Amino acid sequence: MCVKISQLINAELDMRDPVVASIQQALLLWSHIEAFLKRIYIKPDKHEQYEHEIESFKKNVIRFITCGAKTFLTKHKTGDDNETFYVHALLCYLPNFVDNAWEKHRLRSFYHAGTIEL
């Protein structure tokens, strides 16, 4: 869905506007972040590839926050730096959760679509 919205923005709005460009870029990044977070099983022969995907996920989170901080992630202040709780959780907690779950269990997420998968 984010990719389709991003394509619509690209077709219909002025991409020279930095706000529009930031929102469009954030939507594309979110589609990658969301896809990564929805994966629940990593085949044993894909472990090395997945470790690279973890690093890409972390970079995408930083890029997403950089884009969003210019536009839609700072409406509600929590502290002096205008960082919302959602931004803080995405930046500080989720990457650590991914690392810990991978290191301890070789799984990234135990919960998917209302069912627990082991």
All structural domains of the chain with their residue ranges: 2-116
3-state helix, strand, coil in the chain (%, to 5): 65, 5, 30
Question: What does each C-alpha distance from 87 to 69, 92, 97 come to in angstroms?
Answer: 9, 8, 15
Q: Which residue do the tokens 């929102």 mark?
A: 23
pLDDT of residue 40: 75
This prediction's pTM: 0.72
Low-confidence ranges of the chain (pLDDT < 50): 77-80, 108-118
pLDDT of residue 24: 87
Amino acid at 35: A
* Secondary structure (3-state) at 57: helix
